[in-house]
Structure 1
Amino acid sequence: MTIRDTAEEWEIRATETPFRGKKTSVRTDEVVMPDGTVVSRDYQVHPGSVAVLALDDEDRVLVLRQYRHPVRQKLWEIPAGLLDVPGENPLHAAQRELYEEAHVKAEDWRVLTDVYTTPGGCDEAVRIFLARELSEAEGERFQVEDEEADMELARVPVADLVRKVLAGDLHNNCLVVGVLSLAAARNGDGLDTLRPAQAPWPARPFDA
């Protein structure tokens, strides 16, 4: 048995979109099950996202604290953002988010991991990058607004983040997955064996 996710699509008898928002929508599909029964499945349609685990020369991760209204909490996160343009190159989007949210650039980029955030109820796919060789970005800072205007920035040692994740103190999906993936990669074949930044991403095909 090969342990690997594979593409598959069951028959859809009917579909409708009862809600359309600014960036996402909700879709209802009538899906044929293997025994022939037809069931209704509601899910959020999402353009996809990128996130950046930015690691500096002192083995600290750049994190930010932001209010998230659905969960009524301020969460520590890593820089992240939507793939706003269909077919957008995820590396370019990640570089943009790192600049806009932290005014930082990086010279070395790798793919850390790819995840579906909540595949039972949303089709969001996220590519998490590892960014190294950090430096201050040039030019003026990006003008943030809304929740981002209240963000706090910090650099936290990797070991401290791992401990806080396992203690239940940190909950953001991309931060948790990114930090634990970083620790696993280090204990495995090493960071330099991670996939290149432009590695194919079947969940969100992109232009080179």
Structure 2
Amino acid sequence: MSHDFEVVGSELLLDAPIIAVRRDEVVMPGGTTAFREVVEHFGAVAIVAIDDAERIAMVHQYRRSVDRRLWELPAGLLDIKGEDELTGARRELQEEAGLAAQDWSVLADIITSPGFCEEAVRVFLARDLSEAPRLAAEGDEEADMGFAWVALDDAVDQVISGEIANSIACTGILAAYAVLRGGRTPRSVDEPFELRPKSMAGRRLGPDLKKL
């Protein structure tokens, strides 16, 4: 019989606009308790937008945590109360890539750093693309964001070589390759995103979940 890791206490250590940190006291096997710090998160969506020439829309964005620009998929937080994942993905694709898509499916649901963070990301495959008016960028980093079309085969090579290192992009690119070249079937967008975090979003009251 597997152990039930019951939480017997919890303390909020930090409550910031896009993350929070709490300390949980958890019952371990044998009856002792241990403290575990957890980074709370809204969850996010990312999009592998691929055109008829099998090129992927990618963005080049500065990330302060690693002090470098990374090649990434168009992506964003689920930070609007009540917004479903597909609506969020459509918004982010238009905002970051100036694109709309008619054909949507789910490539993967991933937990990015389960050792300390509850962030989960739904990665979509978007096809049958068209240009759309680019929405205004929300942050300074996004205003400096680059954009490029990358051939699917080249993107896979860049994952293997380490040139593409963002974990969400790596997952999305390899999953898209499995679908487009390996005959795998993506999932329906109607499938529930069971991994979507709820703790921080549940505490925020307004429509913009980033506002404290």
TM-score, normalising length from structure 2? 0.87
Task: Point out 4+ residue stretches in structure 1 off by more than 2 angstroms.
Answer: 85-88, 184-190
2: CA distance, partners of 1:9 / 1:108: 41
Letter in 2 for 1:143: A
2: CA distance, partners of 1:30 / 1:86: 29
Report what 1:54 is aligned to: 49
CA contact (8 A) 1:67 1:147 kept: yes
**Which deviates further from its counterpart, 17-26 or 181-190?**
181-190
User: 1 or 2 for the larger relative contact order (CA 8 Å, sep ≥6)?
Assistant: 2
CA contact (8 A) 1:15 1:28 kept: yes
1: CA distance, partners of 2:6 / 2:101: 44
Find 1:183's aligned residue among 171, 177, 181.
177
- What is the deviation of 1:175? 0.7
Report what 1:3 is aligned to: none
Three-state SS of the structure 1 residue aligned to 2:164 is: coil
CA contact (8 A) 1:52 1:128 kept: yes
CA contact (8 A) 1:87 1:204 kept: no
1: CA distance, partners of 2:155 / 2:136: 28
Report what 2:207 is aligned to: none
Report what 1:4 is aligned to: none
Report what 2:191 is aligned to: 199
CA contact (8 A) 1:106 1:133 kept: yes
Report what 1:166 is aligned to: 160
Three-state SS of the structure 2 residue aligned to 1:160 is: helix
Aligned length: 195
CA contact (8 A) 2:43 2:197 kept: no
CA contact (8 A) 2:119 2:197 kept: no
CA contact (8 A) 1:87 1:205 kept: no
- What is the deviation of 1:9? 5.9
Three-state SS of the structure 1 residue aligned to 2:53 is: coil
1: CA distance, partners of 2:171 / 2:31: 37
C-alpha root-mean-square deviation of aligned residues, in Å?
A: 1.7
TM-score, normalising length from structure 1? 0.89
1: CA distance, partners of 2:4 / 2:100: 39
Report what 1:155 is aligned to: 149
1:82-120 C-alpha deviation (Å, 9 max, x unpaired): 001344210000000000111100000000000000011
1:20-42 C-alpha deviation (Å, 9 max, x unpaired): 10121001001001221101100
1: CA distance, partners of 2:153 / 2:129: 19
Three-state SS of the structure 2 residue aligned to 1:199 is: coil
- What is the deviation of 1:174? 1.2
CA contact (8 A) 1:53 1:129 kept: yes
Paired-residue identity, %? 46
